[in-house]
């Protein structure tokens, strides 16, 4: 990192982000949070003991208190995005969630920063609020994301009828799953949707469905979207436009009951 000596490492970058999460959100660094940060850093340095990890954290605390911290944290986030693998970024995000939960209170500002990290590092799998890892993101999650985008994007509201329609159609794709399991997938997707995903996130889901499903199944997905669109009344221009766009993206330029 610029402005630091040669002893500054990627582990210091991670420590700086974790300190910003723990201290910057409520201007307080609880003992439990400090211990969680030290444990996280020790885990990234195989063969190193807790004292060495604590020394790294204390060095980083000094930088946090004395520097242009916002710029430094952004630099660290960008650096780790470049040098860590996707699995390592997911692991670092899990560390951040554990630090946020260490004092027993998951503040809204902490959730927001974890979401920012997830977006910056292209990690879809957000940690659960109870500190456990979420289930793997699957093509079912991609389907759910498009259903929610269609239902919510038209009027910024997600009605009970729309939720019921989404659960009904998602259940048909995986009849071996219970409604509780389908709702768990949908909850995961809603958590991700609440982070205001970028266009590229929706693009990945659109591509995943095209790559995973043959043309007949893509047609079935379009029919499901049409069903969700109709669940709360008339189909809006936004819904027609979205269905038409997906039809083109999936190479199935056909008319569905006169809608597209």
Structural domain boundaries in the chain: 10-120, 139-249
Is 179 in contact with 167 (CB distance < 8 Å)?
Answer: yes
Length of the chain: 260
pLDDT tens digits, 71-117: 888 899 999 999 999 889 988 988 888 887 776 665 656 666 777 78
Q: Do domains 10-120 and 139-249 have the same CATH topology?
A: yes
Per the structure block, which two tokens stand in for 91? Answer: 């692991």
Q: How far apart (Å, rounded) are the C-alpha atoms in residues 221 and 210?
A: 10
pLDDT score, position 247: 92
What's the CATH code, domain 139-249? Answer: 1.10.3680.10
Q: How far apart (Å, rounded) are the C-alpha atoms in residues 75 and 60?
A: 14
Q: How far apart (Å, rounded) are the C-alpha atoms in residues 191 and 124?
A: 10
Residue 151 has pLDDT above 60, yes or no: yes
Whether this model's pTM surpasses 0.75 = no
Q: Which fold has domain 10-120?
A: TerB-like (1.10.3680)
């Amino acid at each position: 990192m610029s402005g630091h000596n040669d002893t500054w490492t990627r582990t210091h970058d991670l420590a700086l982000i974790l300190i910003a999460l723990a201290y910057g959100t409520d201007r307080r660094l609880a003992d439990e949070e400090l211990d969680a940060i030290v444990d996280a850093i020790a885990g990234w340095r195989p063969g190193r003991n807790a004292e060495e990890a604590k020394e790294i954290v204390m060095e980083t605390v000094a930088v946090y208190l004395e520097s242009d911290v916002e710029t430094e944290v952004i630099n660290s986030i960008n650096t780790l995005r470049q040098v860590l693998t996707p699995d390592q970024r997911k692991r670092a995000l899990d560390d951040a969630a554990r630090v946020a939960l260490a004092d027993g209170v998951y503040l809204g500002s902490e959730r927001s920063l974890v979401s920012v990290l997830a977006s910056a590092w292209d990690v879809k799998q957000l940690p659960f609020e109870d500190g456990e890892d979420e289930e793997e993101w699957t093509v079912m999650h991609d389907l759910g994301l498009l259903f929610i985008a269609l239902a919510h994007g038209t009027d910024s509201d997600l009605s009970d009828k729309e939720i019921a329609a989404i659960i009904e159609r998602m259940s048909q794709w995986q009849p071996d799953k219970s409604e509780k399991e389908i709702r768990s997938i949908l909850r995961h997707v809603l958590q991700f949707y609440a982070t205001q995903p970028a266009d590229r996130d929706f693009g990945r889901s659109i591509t995943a469905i095209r790559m995973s499903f043959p043309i007949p199944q893509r047609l079935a997905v379009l029919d499901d979207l049409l069903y969700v669109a109709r669940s709360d009344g008339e189909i809006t221009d936004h819904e027609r436009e979205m269905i038409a766009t997906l039809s083109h993206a999936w190479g199935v330029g056909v008319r569905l009951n006169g809608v597209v």
